[in-house]
Amino acid sequence: MTTGTDLLALSPVMPVVVIDDVDDAVPTARALHAGGIGVIELTLRTPVALAAIERVAKEVPDIVVGAGTVTSPEQAKQAADAGAKFLVTPGCTDAVLDAAFATGLPFLPGAATVSEAMRLAERGLSALKFFPAEASGGAAFLKSIAGPLPQLQFCPTGGITVSSAPSYLALPNVGCIGGSWLTPSKLLAAKDFAAVEKLAAEAAALR
Ligand code: 3PG
């Protein structure tokens, strides 16, 4: 079975994607994949998000599609029903954690402090999202906790750019990083999927 740690190995960058027009979902996923990215986190922030996940899961089987911004137990179940292959949460409550476990899907729960990370490790999780990365101490924070928490791998997300990405990817406890810069809303609104592919190729070459 795929684990959270396996998810971190799919690409150096996990694109965090907000889809406003459901028709953009498949071409966006195809462009990311053509650029060399193997994974996509579709955020549950728009009314079409679940439909977008469903389409990508069916029509772009080569990319691993997950649901991001899962903030309630209901959303965890809905995302799994829509065909999401994994779940990502910005932070974690016991209810969301229980619901995520109940789906049987691999998931990356969010943590921003040492105690949050330790609590998730106690529940058997070894791959976490570090969110919001830049605002919570950035690469320096992750570097500082690699010693005391060597069993944990992170996907830092939030405020990371193509320029700051290498400082994270150089850390032993970073499996991949997350970011929305590969799919800016401007490019999606303009249906400029060739530009998305270029950004994806640049991101895929980061490691
Ligand atoms: C997320 O939900 O993970 C973040 O909003 C992505 O952060 P970014 O837009 O700063 O990359």
User: What residue segments make up the domains of the chain, in order of their start?
Assistant: 4-204
pLDDT in tens, 111-132: 999 999 999 999 999 999 999 9
In the sheet that holds 177-179, the strands lie side by side as 107-108, 87-88, 64-68, 39-43, 13-17, 177-179
Mean pLDDT over 29-38 rounds to 98
What is the overall mean pLDDT for the chain?
A: 97
Catalytic positions are 41, 129
Helical (H) or strand (E) element with 157: none
Does the pLDDT value for residue 1 go beyond 60? no
- Which residue bears the tokens 């994994």? 86
Ligand 1 site residues (CB inside 6 A) read: 16, 43, 68-69, 90, 131, 157-160, 178-181
More confident residue, 164 or 207: 164
Mean pLDDT over 102-116 rounds to 98
Name which of 183, 181, 174, 158 is nearest 207 in CA terms: 174
Residue with the smallest CA separation from ligand 1 atom 1 is: 158
Probe target for ligand 1 pocket from 16, 43, 164, 168, with the most ligand atoms within 8 Å of CB? 16
What's the pTM value of the predicted model, to 2 decimals?
0.96
ipTM score of complex: 0.87
Q: For domain 4-204, give the CATH number.
A: 3.20.20.70
pLDDT at 110: 98
pLDDT in tens, 77-101: 999 999 999 999 999 999 999 999 9
